[in-house]
Structure 1
């Protein structure tokens, strides 16, 4: 056993300050999550209940196996936009009849469950996760279709949702639709393109065009039931495979459908898990509020991996990047964690070799971010930092084992890319409330703009306004600071959620279980040209 030792002093003033600052950020995060939980607000929730209907989250809860977790994804989608936090859609991974499934549920208390541009992005991300990890998909449908005022941003790209359903089915990944109310226009294609369809008697309404549109288009008089009611689709059109008397029965039938899928994970059960030797509660006091202050990622690793047992790889070479092997909830992982923030040539070369080794062994990779990027300066440019950084990014780009990323602190510049940021398609990416991500730090970015403006004025022989410069720098710093915060980034779906650090082990365990539903196979070459 190579159990990590800890040097964390939980009685120190420094630890207490870090903990207090992070708890404040968690409180702010909880307040934003509460907005998503509230749906459309008390008025619309009560109106929905008054119609004898379950709320979207109640539907998800009844669908899941009792006392099993639900890993909600992108809960802050649309944060900071004109649309409701959560984007009128719930997505996540949960266990149904013993099978891990990707679940989506429209929230009809938010504008009738209509889809806005962020709903579309959130649903597309859910489909990506289902496809990559071979997770059966269950859609709990009640939506009036597109939010018409924003149709210009939805209509053309929105077709990808229906394409995804057909591709999931073609890949042998089951799709199930449970329709609770309206499923109109484009929304009708969700049950239309799902493998299994369940409708609720006198509740489900599925049609390409409702009675008003039919009247306008053809002059035909019709009513909801004859045009698209559940009984009609069960008895006449054949769109419904199962007709349920009420919502609980519909969810029970969905559970039975999943139970009959004969679905198997690609991998055997993991090895027995062992809790870390150190309390995950202590994760709250590790990351400084000022991200320019480095922290030891071994302290984080020791509180999330099985038995705090970690075998370091090249610990004396490129020490600003910690690499090594561990298990997490019984699953093997290779870990890359930033130590001092900056990535040098040695760290980049070490990372590339480590990623190749993980691919040879079919071991998933976990990236723990706290980096300001690759080192700059004449000495480092002459030493080949560009080609060595490119080597690391090449390895990340062409690695085929599943990648998981967690932004703990800074994640700036090309370091974000090298540590498998969103553009490099990690299977899952989460952020702590302490994280920040941008092209560079706010002070650095404002300073660069100031230097460029000063040089431009000098080249034109004009005097430079220092007072205006100070105002500009302050404005830019404020803007970049706001745009680098995790809630802003999560609202744009640049991560899969902002999580409490104390939940990191649980979240990663759920993700590792999900990725092992599909085969885990590394690249055996095919990394392209590594410039030496």
Structure 2
């Protein structure tokens, strides 16, 4: 077996056009990320004036020196009435040598209060922590529920408290470092955690503040009497550790994590590895500006996976290369860890491609090998020939395999991800461990032109059945409106704003992000499944 042909496919000038187009999208992405960093606006300066650290500054001090931080769902809330970032910062980082899920309330955005977006974001973070058995460190400073939105928060928010207590039952440690207010429902975040550190003179943890207590009981009290850190450390016993300031709280948090006795149960690292055969910088030049134009995913793969070495004979060991050629499958290593890769080549999934993917998923489950899905698909092929050839049952076979596969999977949308093709390629509904999107990607039930065209055909048919003339002018306006709406709703920022991915990323960062994710996955045993139910043959 040898490596694939690595000669450039598009003309040089076309590569320059693609590179410039992708760089423009990355520049726009950086600007959107900066909006999340600056979400607190003028309140950041006010926060600093009080001698307090921001959420990201707290995270930076918590992490091991030089350790990366994989921030997740940075653009949550984009395109909604809520601030980008959802008043929280979430991500995975190494604390005292231990990979941890970190959730930090942003007190510069409405006092870190919880809104529907922040609730959805922290819920996803807790799901990632559960699936990968990560200790969870929460940096607490929250005013509780954003009261004007209580109808969207109150009932589902209870799940967050349930998640904390269930994590404890799984021996998945939870640590709360309380820097400021933690009121009402927010008080239960430290209250249900395994370990609690409170900052003296800063932390205020109570179910009801002085105004509420006075209204409810007539009692007059102050913040410190009701929920001060020293009171909880000496009287109520809620605080396990009393920190003298924010930096001391972070020091104590690092010390707690160091004693957790965490070990990886699914380690797959195979030793030294070589850098990719092709320069990852070239990822900027591969994806066409028009996603209808095909490209060879092998050029992407060879820029993500380890190059040949003494322990890795080939970069990418392709499976069934001559069968079902519009889907590429095969084995590789990323940062020394084995991975099975499924990548769309020409966009459309035919019966052969579905059958090929199904067998490959079974093989990866049989060998306990994690999977990587690289999306660029318009969906399963339609038409009389393909329906008669069994595209439904073959597509169902692939979806069955994806649904019942138990090896960890990572999905990355590098191009289009439309219709049932998104399902067969392990989209968000199928619970991949992680899902990221490139800034050029699109995801919807179908392309804007196709969807608007289908609606036009239906409208013309309805007019004909009623015996009336089709209104061409109104139809054209409706078609244009629908195309624009679907185009906007299929863009990565919109999807990320709805927390349908774990982040929009620079393509050049993909290999590093995959390395972190594969390392995180190793915290749990990796066990494949061969019980896939009934395949309709």
TM bin, normalised by shorter chain, reads: over 0.9
Q: What is the CA distance between 1:468 and its match in structure 2?
A: 1.6
1:65-108 deviations in Å (ceiling 9; x for gaps): 00010000000000000111000100000000000000000000
Q: Give the unaligned 5+ runs of structure 1.
A: none
Which portions of structure 1, spanning 4 or more consecutive aligned residues, are displaced by more than 6 angstroms?
none
Matching residue of 1:509: 515
How well do the aligned residues superpose, as a CA RMSD in angstroms?
1.0
Q: Are the counterparts in 2 of residues 10 and 16 from structure 1 also a CA contact under 8 Å? A: no
In the TM superposition, what is the alpha-carbon distance from 1:269 to its structure 2 partner? 6.1
Deviation digits for residues 182-212 of structure 1 (CA, Å, limit 9, x no counterpart): 0000110011100000000010000011111
Counterpart mapping for 1:100-249 below 5 A: 100-249=99-248
SS in 2 for 1:234: helix
What's the offset of the Cα at 1:473?
A: 1.1
Aligned 8 A contact 1:140 1:177 in 2 = yes
Give, in whole Å, the separation in 1 of the partners of 2:36 and 2:57: 14
Q: Which residue of 1 aligns with 2:273?
A: 273
- 1:427 aligned residue: 433
Q: Distance between the aligned counterparts of 1:11 and 1:509, measured in 2?
A: 31
Residue 7 of structure 1: CA displacement? 2.3
CA distance in 1, matches of 2:266, 2:375: 28
Aligned match for 2:347, one of 341, 356, 364: 341
- Aligned partner (choices 396, 407, 416) of residue 402 of structure 2: 396
Give the C-alpha shift of residue 9 in structure 1. 5.7
Q: How many residues align?
A: 530
Contact 1:145-1:187 within 8 A present in 2 as well: yes
Q: Structure 1 residue 484 and structure 2 residue 483: aligned?
A: no
1:455 corresponding residue in structure 2: 461
Cα deviation for residue 3 of structure 1 reads: 2.8
Q: How does 1:408-447 map to 2 (within 5 A)?
A: 408-447=414-453
Q: What is the CA–CA distance in structure 2 between the aligned matches of 1:412 and 1:497, rounded to whole Å?
A: 19
Q: Is 1:7 the equivalent of 2:7? A: yes
TM-score (norm 2): 0.98
Q: Secondary structure at the match of 2:459?
A: helix
User: Could you say if the C-alpha distance between residues 72 and 347 of structure 1 is closer, same or farther in structure 2, counting changes exceeding 3 Å?
Assistant: same
Deviation of 1:2 (Å): 3.3
1:11 to partner: Cα distance: 6.9
Pick one of 356, 369, 372 that aligns with 1:366: 372
Q: Distance in 2 between matches of 1:273 and 1:512?
A: 15
CA drift at 1:10: 8.0
Distance (Å, rounded) in 1 between the aligned partners of 2:329 and 2:208: 57
**1:390 deviation in Å?**
0.3
Q: 1:329 aligns with which of 328, 335, 339?
A: 335
- 2:311 is aligned to none
1:524 matched to 2:530: yes
Distance (Å, rounded) in 1 between the aligned partners of 2:111 and 2:392: 51
1:255 to 1:10, Cα distance in 2 relative to 1, 3 A:
farther
**TM-score, with length taken from structure 1:** 0.99
**In the aligned structure 2, how far is the partner of 1:20 from the partner of 1:461?**
52
- What runs of 5+ residues in structure 2 fail to find an aligned partner? 309-314
Tell me the SS of whatever aligns to 2:137: strand
Counterpart Cα distance in 2 of 1:100 and 1:269: 16
Q: Report the counterpart of residue 29 of structure 2 in structure 1.
A: 29
SS at match of 2:134: coil
Secondary structure of residue in 2 paired with 1:78: coil
Query: Which residue of 2 is the match for residue 316 of structure 1?
Result: 322
